[in-house]
Amino acid sequence: GDSVTQMEGPVTLSEEAFLTINCTYTATGYPSLFWYVQYPGEGLQLLLKATKADDKGSNKGFEATYRKETTSFHLEKGSVQVSDSAVYFCALTYNTNAGKSTFGDGTTLTVKP
Amino acid sequence: SAVISQKPSRDICQRGTSLTIQCQVDSQVTMMFWYRQQPGQSLTLIATANQGSEATYESGFVIDKFPISRPNLTFSTLTVSNMSPEDSSIYLCSVVRESSYNEQFFGPGTRLTVL
């Protein structure tokens, strides 16, 4: 079956540091890939998405590229802020089963001033 | 986007009791989904709540334990029955907007602790 593997956390960075959170997946088909963010005490919010190979999703300074050859969708940001402290989830889903997503375990990011 | 509210936001319950969680969406949606997020773990899909028919459960989840109602296109409930401490989790409702190409919108979650 399908699965999503994220780098283990927690990750602690200083403000303005470069961020990478690794995400790899196994899939039987051709899914869309997503990054969700969960701020403390809140629900999940979509951060960015990519629907096919080589697509790059971007939002709020975060980027991730759908790499079919390496089955990866790593999240990056060039300069993190304290407000980026949250839990980040990588996920995949298929067009034919919208809403039935497979999630990674989540990576907790803490950014210190 | 979609505005989703859940009630209660949190609860502490005794073993053997049941809790019903409500999910309200600000507009009509075809499908609603219930997820569980156990402490320190990822989200796992419990079931898909279909309006006008029975919910569709994922492997490992059964209707007797997690009965679901979907009386209309904006509302659903999930009941956690005969609870045990292993049911302590965050339960999240989500919807997909047909116009949003698989983008899921999540409610704020219900944090359940079973003693």
At residue A33, the pLDDT reads: 94
What length is written for chain B? 115
Q: Is the pLDDT of residue B17 over 90?
A: yes
Using a CB–CB cutoff of 8 Å, tell me whether B42 touches chain A.
Answer: yes
Asked whether B3 and B106 are in contact (CB, 8 A), the reply is: no
Q: Is the pLDDT of residue B53 over 90?
A: no
Using a CB–CB cutoff of 8 Å, tell me whether B33 touches chain A.
Answer: yes
Cis link prior to B85 (omega < 30° from 0)? no
At residue B102, the pLDDT reads: 63
Q: Which of A41, A43, A99 sits opposite B96 (nearest CB)?
A: A99
At residue A107, the pLDDT reads: 95
3-state SS class at A7: coil
Mean pLDDT of the region B60-78: 95
List pLDDT tens digits, range A8-59.
889 999 999 999 999 999 998 889 999 999 998 788 889 999 999 999 999 9
Closest residue in A to B94 (Cα–Cα): A99
At residue B3, the pLDDT reads: 87
Give the C-alpha separation, A12 to A80, whole Å: 11
Q: Which residues pair with B94 in a beta bridge?
A: B33, B106
Q: List residues of chain A with CB under 8 Å from any CB of chain B.
A: 32, 34, 36, 41-46, 49, 51, 89, 93, 95, 98-101, 103-106
Query: Given an 8 Å threshold on Cβ–Cβ distance, is B92 in contact with A43?
Result: yes
Mean pLDDT of the region B90-114: 85
The DSSP bridge pattern shows strands B89-96 and B31-37 to be: antiparallel
Structure tokens at A30: 């051709």
Q: Which of A46, A49, A105 sits opposite B42 (nearest CB)?
A: A105
Burial class (CB in 10 A: 0-12, 13-18, 19+), B74: middle
Instruction: Spell out which residues of chain A touch residue B4, defining contact as CB-CB under 8 Å.
Output: 43
Q: Is the pLDDT of residue B101 over 80?
A: no
At residue A12, the pLDDT reads: 96
Mean pLDDT of the region B30-40: 89
At residue B104, the pLDDT reads: 83
Q: Is the pLDDT of residue B100 over 70?
A: no
Mean pLDDT of the region B61-70: 96
At residue A108, the pLDDT reads: 94
Burial class (CB in 10 A: 0-12, 13-18, 19+), B60: exposed
Q: Is the pLDDT of residue B98 over 80?
A: no
Residue with tokens 């499908």: B31
Q: Which helix (H) or strand (E) covers residue B81, if one does? A: none
Quick one: which of A93, A87, A59, A53 has its CA closest to A73?
A53
List pLDDT tens digits, range A59-101.
999 999 999 999 999 999 999 999 999 999 999 988 767 778 8
Quick one: which of B59, B54, B45, B60 has its CA closest to B91?
B45
